[in-house]
Amino acid sequence: MVSPYALGSVGGVQGQVVGLARTLRADGHEVTVVAPAADPAAVPSDVGDHFVIGQPVGLRSNGSVAPVAPWPTAARHAERFVRRGRFDVVHVHEPLAPMAAYGLVLRNSVPMVGTYHRAGVSRWVRPLHPLTQLVGRRLQVRVAVSEAARETGLREGGGEFEVLFNGVDMGRFESAPPHRDPEGRPTVLFLGRHEPRKGLPVLLEAFDGLRRAAVLWVSGEGLGTEVQRRRQLASDPVQWLGVLSDDEVAARLAGATVLCAPSLSGESFGMVLLEGMAAGCAVVASDIEGYRTAAGGHATLVPPGDPGALTRALDAVLADAASARSTEARTRATEYARGWSMDTLAERYLEMYGRAIEAHRASL
C-alpha cells in the first residue's frame, strides 16, 4: 500500500490507507504501508507494518498543505523496496502526488492498482505531467473515489476508471463512548485542518450569530490556527481541542449534536460527512459536489462561504435535535453510511487486485 503522504499526518487519504490496510489484515492478508514519515520512530501503532521512504515537507496543494517527500530518493527507495518485496500486488494511492509512485514506472515487475483521490492538481504537479502519464499507463487497474477524482485522473493520466468510494470504519464510530458537554449543552463539532478552503472562519462567524445556546468544538490545527484563535479567543462556548487521535475523533462525533463541515471547495469526497452519520450526528455542510455526493440527501447543505445561511441551518438543526423526527433521520443516515463501510470497500478492492494480477500475467 503506497501513499505519498506522511505517516501520522492528519488527512483523509492517510485515513483511507491505514483503515484499508487494517481491514485487509483483519481478513487475513499481509499489508505493508510504504510512505514518508517525519519521525520513523513515532509512526502511530495503528499503521501496522510499514516502510519509510523519506522525510516529508509541506507543499501547498489544492488549498491545503500536503506533507509529501518530493525527492527522487523517495521514489528510488519505494521502487527498490517494492521490487525486492515479492508482493502480489501494489496499491498506489494518489498516483499524481510526488514522488512515492514515480519510481514504479521503471519496471513492470508487479501488478499495480491506483486510486485517485483528489479533484484538480496543483501547479507543482503540472511540470511532472509526463511522469504522471507514465504512472497512469503503468497501472493495471485505475480507481477514483468520486466523479471529480475520475475527471482529474482522465485529464492527467488517461485510461479507464472505475468509481468506488472512500470507506467508513463503522465499528469504530458505532462503538465509540460518547464525549458530551459536561453541562448537557448541544455541541457543534468542526473536524479539519485550519486552512482557508476548510471554511473555519465562516463557521466561527456563523456560530457568533446563533440564537440557540450551544458549544463549538474546534479540532485540528494548521497555518490559520493562531489567526483564528486571536480572532475568537478560547471561551466557554468556543473550545479549541487541537489535533485529536482517531479514538478522540470517534468519541467527539458520538457525543456531538451536529457535525459542521463548512469547506469552500476542493473536496472530491465528503468522508467526514459519512463518519458523522456513522456516529449518529446530524450533519450540516457546504453544498459542494464532493459533499453532495457523499451526503445522499442525509445532510443539511448550505451555500459555501455564506455565514448567514450556515447560522440559519445550525439554528434549525439544533432546535430540532431532540425530536423524534430528528432521531429517525439520524438512524436512516447511519444505515446509509453503513453502505459505504470499509469492509465493503475492502471486498471491492480484493476484486480489483485479482483483476490486476490477471492483467499483469497476460502482459508478460
Domain residue spans of the chain: 12-167+341-363, 170-338
Predicted local confidence at residue 229, as pLDDT: 67
Q: What angle do CA 343, 344, 348 make, to 5 degrees?
A: 115
pLDDT of residue 234: 57
**Whether the Cβ atoms of residue 270 and residue 285 lie closer than 8 Å to each other:** yes
CATH class of 170-338: alpha beta
Q: What is the pLDDT of residue 194?
A: 86
DSSP letter at 309 equals: H
What is the pLDDT, as a whole number, of residue 90?
A: 97
What pLDDT, on a 0 to 100 scale, did the predictor assign at position 130?
78
Residue by residue, pLDDT tens for the chain (364 residues) are 999 999 987 778 988 999 999 999 999 999 999 999 999 999 989 899 999 999 999 887 666 678 999 999 999 999 999 999 999 999 999 998 889 999 998 888 899 999 999 877 666 666 677 777 888 889 999 999 988 899 988 888 788 999 999 999 998 898 999 999 999 999 999 998 888 889 999 999 999 999 999 999 999 887 666 666 666 655 679 999 998 988 999 999 999 999 999 999 878 789 999 999 999 999 999 999 889 989 999 999 999 999 999 999 999 999 999 899 999 999 999 999 999 999 999 999 999 999 999 999 998 8
What is the model's pLDDT at position 196? 84
| Long-range contacts (CB closer than 8 Å, 24 or more residues apart) made by 71-74 | 71/99, 72/99, 74/36, 74/99, 74/100
Q: Residue 319 corresponds to which cell in the numbers above? A: 432546535
Alpha-carbon separation of residue 252 from 174, 273, 324, 352 (angstroms): 12, 14, 22, 35
Residue-level pLDDT at 224: 62
Question: Residue 155: what pLDDT?
Answer: 84
Same topology between domain 12-167+341-363 and domain 170-338? yes
In angstroms, the Cα distances linking 299 to 190, 273, 287, 334, 363 are: 15, 8, 10, 11, 46
Q: Which fold would CATH assign to domain 12-167+341-363?
A: Rossmann fold (3.40.50)
